[in-house]
Chain A
């Protein structure tokens, strides 16, 4: 309204530049609706962006909101919710799990999806710590992937779709446990019958992408145990399932929650709030005879 009014008035004030003022007024009259549209659009997008921005802190929301039990809380309706229990009292650091895993996934010998670290405990005792993907329920690697190439399966494992991965290695930066490996070189030959493409099982590994422990998702689907579990002669690695509340190392089967409760389990870097699904039975640096 106002600009139009001004437009009618300007011709009266003649002091050499009448045309300019009326041009401004006219422009103002024309611009007004566009400004309004822009303002509405800006407001709307600000709202949307604020909503999206909150998504950036999903961990914060979930940490604040949840009283997560030490069980798979990911309520996906999947038939299983996988976890691992590693009995450090039994692990002798032989590395058979690493080799079994490499054989299963056709990995080069320098690619270790389960690493066995020699460790020293608080009182100088030595023990061995096998570290595979911790299957974090709040996984930093999933959060930072720019192209959603790495994601949770409904039953817990985190996999990489190597047909999408751009190889930026941001997930390797984000993973607090250092379990991700990069395919710097072409992988070893895979027998022709065994090649497979897909996030559940990728053989051979694709050059220039990130690979990691997939908790042998392709095996557990078929009712078989992960390679690290079956290859551990010490029977130190258990595959657990929160849905059926059972865990097995291939020979013995135990009740998962009871086993966790009775054995003073701990998880790696709990303070980071990543909610890993790999539980360790403390080894106190001693081999337990059995």
Chain B
């Protein structure tokens, strides 16, 4: 279980850090192509679904005048939430100077970017008239939360691209001398790395820039998710009109985001034999982050339900009753079990703190948090505002195809990303974990030279 503490000897027998990091770039086995094919197929079905929706309008969905927002909105909250988790894992670990961070920052940043790029499509996919989306720029009503959403998400995309791109400068510079890569790729990397030579000045500048973006991304992501929650809480609708919604969405975002970082890290560790770097200690540490967020999310859920349920204003009580005891209760209790209890149990029992269990808990959290977003959105809509019947909603195949296609798109983007850039942050690991002390050059350049 504890191969973790075994000293990592940089002897010749072990593949070097850089060699491991470029493995996915130079090697694509049957597994890679199989996963890529499935992801592409799923994304393709999603594209077909969207084509159908464009052709015939939103009538092809299961939405109606009462439940007018459904799984598209749940998906956009979930995917952009994933992104926040990725960005925050990278930023917070950097700010608290966690020594093991370099091993997962690249995966976290790439996950943040991939989920954000796909997630940002859903605000457009959900529109009845997507071709008019730019009107939000040309005749904005600044009182509208939708306008705030657009501004926040656009800013966040820029910040996430920077967060992903900055640390790459050093790595691409290092890899432009790596013999395993072809001459054209190396030339391209040299060009992309802005003349990175690993001088002490360059390293200091990069370090400072990384700190700045890490500090910036935290409030920015808080703003994005708070504003996303405003699309719901700035209405008078029972079940939505709640002050807890901002923090609720922010915590939920990081929570599910950490889970997807864990899953991605485990997948790459297994597929490319990266256990030396993404060891059980790293996964366990991420598991502790996950469990802390599980408790925090459980707390906001509890306080929301208690404040509504204790007073039980008629409309609030109706929504809550449907959620906890009636038509939505199987989903709600499933959320509690998989979304809150499972990660706590896994991390509380020492024997269960293994990659497999933590991965299972993360998968549970991802499913449960998706369910939770649906439970936040749909029951409040289904509740009649004045009179009449309770609304019903079941997503159509078009909606399911598009959402699944989004998931396929994320996988595909991640696969392509790690064909193009190293999966481990070579430079950063070298800097923090101090492999090689030569000041003028990054440690990993030395590592490369040792092995070649």
Q: Can you report 16 residue pairs joining A to B where beta carbons are below 8 Å apart? A: A55-B142, A144-B144, A144-B235, A146-B144, A164-B132, A165-B129, A166-B132, A166-B135, A169-B69, A170-B144, A170-B231, A173-B231, A173-B240, A184-B57, A184-B63, A208-B58
Q: What's the Cα separation between A192 and B302 when bound, in Å? A: 58
Q: What's the Cα separation between A170 and B126 when bound, in Å? A: 11
Contact of A148 among B69, B139, B388 (CB under 8 A): B139
Query: How many residues belonging to B are interface residues under a CB distance threshold of 8 Å?
Result: 43
Known pairs A166-B133, A208-B129; A177 contacts B142 (CB<8 A):
no
A115 CB contacts on chain B under 8 angstroms: 388
Q: Does A182 contact B (CB under 8 A)?
A: yes
Q: Quick one: which of B371-394 are within 8 Å of A by CB?
A: 381, 384-388
Q: Does B136 contact A (CB under 8 A)?
A: yes
Q: Does A166 contact B65, Cβ atoms closer than 8 Å?
A: no
How many of chain A's residues touch chain B, expressed as a range?
35 or more
B237 CB contacts on chain A under 8 angstroms: 173, 176
A164 CB contacts on chain B under 8 angstroms: 132, 135, 139
Q: Does B143 contact A56, Cβ atoms closer than 8 Å?
A: yes
Contact of A170 among B63, B133, B135, B145 (CB under 8 A): B145
Q: What's the Cα separation between A173 and B145 when bound, in Å? A: 12
Q: Does A207 contact B (CB under 8 A)?
A: yes
B128 CB contacts on chain A under 8 angstroms: 165-169, 182-183, 207-210
Q: Does B308 contact A (CB under 8 A)?
A: no
How many A-B contacts if CB must be within 8 Å?
128
Q: Does A174 contact B235, Cβ atoms closer than 8 Å?
A: yes
How distant is A283 from chain B, measured CB to nearest CB, in Å?
13
B150 CB contacts on chain A under 8 angstroms: 146
Against A, the Cβ 8 Å flags (1 = close, 0 = not) of B130-154 are 1011011001111111110010000
Q: What's the Cα separation between A158 and B53 when bound, in Å? A: 29
How distant is A21 from chain B, measured CB to nearest CB, in Å?
15
A147 CB contacts on chain B under 8 angstroms: 132, 135-136, 139-141
**Which secondary structure dominates where chain B touches chain A?**
loop
Known pairs A117-B388, A148-B139; A173 contacts B129 (CB<8 A):
no
Q: Quick one: which of A115-160 are within 8 Å of B by CB?
A: 115, 117-119, 129, 131, 140, 143-148
A247 CB contacts on chain B under 8 angstroms: none
B381 CB contacts on chain A under 8 angstroms: 173
A interface list, Cβ under 8 A from B: 52, 55-56, 58, 115, 117-119, 129, 131, 140, 143-148, 164-170, 172-174, 176-178, 180-186, 207-210, 268-269, 272
Q: Does B156 contact A (CB under 8 A)?
A: no
Q: What's the Cα separation between A185 and B386 when bound, in Å? A: 25
A269 CB contacts on chain B under 8 angstroms: 236
B328 CB contacts on chain A under 8 angstroms: none
Q: Does A181 contact B65, Cβ atoms closer than 8 Å?
A: yes
B56 CB contacts on chain A under 8 angstroms: 185
B164 CB contacts on chain A under 8 angstroms: none
Contact of A167 among B127, B136, B231, B385 (CB under 8 A): B127
B29 CB contacts on chain A under 8 angstroms: none
Interface centre among A145, A173, A208, by most chain B C-beta atoms within 10 angstroms, is A173
How distant is B301 from chain A, measured CB to nearest CB, in Å?
22
Q: What's the Cα separation between A176 and B234 when bound, in Å? A: 12
Q: Does B100 contact A (CB under 8 A)?
A: no
Q: A178-B386, A185-B59 are in contact. List 20 more A-B contacts (CB 8 A).
A: A144-B145, A146-B146, A146-B147, A164-B135, A167-B127, A169-B68, A169-B128, A170-B231, A172-B65, A173-B69, A173-B240, A173-B381, A176-B237, A176-B385, A177-B385, A178-B384, A182-B65, A184-B57, A208-B128, A209-B129
A145 CB contacts on chain B under 8 angstroms: 141, 144
B145 CB contacts on chain A under 8 angstroms: 144, 170
Known pairs A167-B128, A184-B59, A208-B58; A117 contacts B236 (CB<8 A):
no
A55 CB contacts on chain B under 8 angstroms: 142-143
Known pairs A166-B132, A166-B136, A178-B66; A207 contacts B144 (CB<8 A):
no
Q: What's the Cα separation between A282 and B235 when bound, in Å? A: 27
A209 CB contacts on chain B under 8 angstroms: 128-129
Q: What's the Cα separation between A168 and B141 when bound, in Å? A: 14
What are the 3 A-B residue pairs with the smallest beta carbon separation, nearest first? A167-B128, A208-B128, A117-B387
Contact of A166 among B57, B127, B234, B387 (CB under 8 A): B127
Q: Does B387 contact A118, Cβ atoms closer than 8 Å?
A: yes
B136 CB contacts on chain A under 8 angstroms: 146-147, 166
Contact of B129 among A52, A167, A172, A181 (CB under 8 A): A167
Q: What's the Cα separation between A182 and B129 when bound, in Å? A: 12
Q: Does B384 contact A182, Cβ atoms closer than 8 Å?
A: no
Q: Does B202 contact A (CB under 8 A)?
A: no
Contact of B386 among A117, A166, A184 (CB under 8 A): A117
Q: Does A272 contact B236, Cβ atoms closer than 8 Å?
A: yes
B142 CB contacts on chain A under 8 angstroms: 52, 55-56
B130 CB contacts on chain A under 8 angstroms: 166
Q: What's the Cα separation between A166 and B381 when bound, in Å? A: 20
Q: What's the Cα separation between A19 and B411 when bound, in Å? A: 50
Contact of B385 among A169, A178, A185, A208 (CB under 8 A): A178
When C-beta atoms are compared, the residue in chain B nearest to A170 turns out to be B146
Q: Does B189 contact A (CB under 8 A)?
A: no
A167 CB contacts on chain B under 8 angstroms: 58, 127-129, 132
Q: What's the Cα separation between A168 and B133 when bound, in Å? A: 9
Interface centre among A129, A167, A172, by most chain B C-beta atoms within 10 angstroms, is A167
Contact of A143 among B59, B64, B143 (CB under 8 A): B143
When C-beta atoms are compared, the residue in chain B nearest to A206 turns out to be B129
